[in-house]
Structure formats: C-alpha cells, structure tokens
Amino acid sequence: MNYKNTFAADFERLDKNYAKPDAFISEMAKNSDTIRALILQGPPGVGKTHSVEQSLKKHAAGRYQLINGKVTNLSLYGSLYNASSNGHILFLDDCDTFLNDVTGVNILKAAMDTKPEREIHWESGTHYLKAMGVPTSFKFNGSVILNTNIGYDNHNKKYISRLSALQDRALVITISDTDPDRLFKQVCYMVLVQDMLRNYKFSTLEKNMLLKWIDDNRDYINRISLRTIIKLSNIYSADKNSWKDMAEQGLLSGVDYA
C-alpha cells in the first residue's frame, strides 16, 4: 500500500490547508499590522503545533516566543510585552487555561484588537512586573497566534463563549475535523508529505507499513492522531521483530487476545 498515491487528491487539499497558516505567518513576520491575530482550531494531534513551529522557524526566527500549557495572567502580560515589537509573534499553544479568568481574556482581546493602536494595561501594581522590567501599560505592535482544541477535545461552555470574543478579532483557520477518515488521511499526510518522522530515518516502505497497521486496526484505536503514529514508531524502533504484538497490547482496546 502506498498511501501517497491512494490519497493524492486528499493530499492536494491538505497542502492548501497547511499553506494558509504559513502564508499568514509570513505576513505577520513582515508587518504585524497586516495580520494581528491568527487562531488555529481543530482536534488534538492533527499537526497544528508542528506546522506553526515550522513556519515560525522559517519566517520569524529569533522573533517569536512559544508558550505551551498553563499560563498565568501575569506571565501572559509579560510575554506580550516581550513580543510587542512589530514583526514579533507570541505563539500560545493549547494555553486554554487563561480562558478561565476574564482578566486573561481581556488582556488577549486588547492584544488582538482591530483598532488602530493597541494598548495593554495591568491594572494593579506588582513587584513581579518591576522585577521583570515590564511597565504597567504598553503599546502592543506584535502579533498573536493561538492554537486551540476548544470545541473538539474541550467542550467547556465558558471557554467556548470566551473564545468566540477572540475569534471575532482574529483570522480563524480550521485544520481538521473529528471525522475518522479525515483524521487518518491527516496522519498519512504529516508522515509522507511533511516528513514528521524524519528523525526515525524510516524508509518509505516502513512508513507505509506502520500507516497500514493503523488503517487495519482503526476500529480498536480510541483516537487516531499524530500521537498514535509517534507511539507506534517508538514501538517499532524498539523491536522490529515483535513490534506488532507490542503494539496490539499497548495501542489497541477491545481486542480479544485469547
């Protein structure tokens, strides 16, 4: 099975999908006034982070900051200050916890605003800001990229409502949906076109073999994502003789091994 040939038409569509954020990030890096905010949404494990990081390294090397996971309001404010120059980019990767507090949402709304000048304020003085050399207000001339699974993996109604206020201020790109066929094709695309397994030094035959195993066992995999192929690649690299038995035990559910 050669999935690059089988899914050729789908890969053309995915090429266009992944070209969109790259083009936007390129413009952000040239002039933040052109594109101030970009939101990428989709289920987890479809390559949102990978594609953004590759584009940032290409277009904004030395001028972007990545924050992943939990972020406090104070650290969000400080990070925006550090990325406040034109052509600088703050990348918030799955940092949905700030949506739990209206203060964090308001800070990001100010950074993403469409009015001619954007100014961000920290209403109360704090010795932490002084220690970081961050003022209590500043003009923000940079750009923000937000990666989120909200509405896909996270169905928190409060988060969805607050995210909509940010979506109103940003360009929004949907990378993928939750359809199992589309998710599998997305994984194939990231492996065979974006070469996300390059560090494993697999041959094309090996890559297709691992994808075929996922394809054959789709009904027993809880969720197909890039994490699935990474875990399978680790198992295969560890033992190329018994990898199938190990993968069945470690990656499948609802299988009768008797």
227 and 106: one domain? Answer: no
Rounded to two decimals, the pTM is 0.83
Domain membership flag for residue 37: yes
**For the segment 89-130, what is each residue's pLDDT rounded down to a tens digit?**
999 998 877 888 889 999 999 999 999 999 999 977 678 888
Domain membership flag for residue 220: yes
170 and 201: one domain? Answer: no
156 and 211: one domain? Answer: no
113 and 170: one domain? Answer: yes
111 and 201: one domain? Answer: no
Domain membership flag for residue 181: no
Total domains in the chain come to 2
Domain membership flag for residue 97: yes
User: Would you state the pLDDT for residue 50?
Assistant: 86
CATH of residue 92's domain is 3.40.50.300
Domain membership flag for residue 118: yes
User: Would you state the pLDDT for residue 69?
Assistant: 82
167 and 224: one domain? Answer: no
218 and 112: one domain? Answer: no
Domain membership flag for residue 187: no
Domain membership flag for residue 180: no
Domain membership flag for residue 71: yes
Region 72-90 average pLDDT: 95
Residue with tokens 């789709």: 218
Range of the domain at 243: 197-251
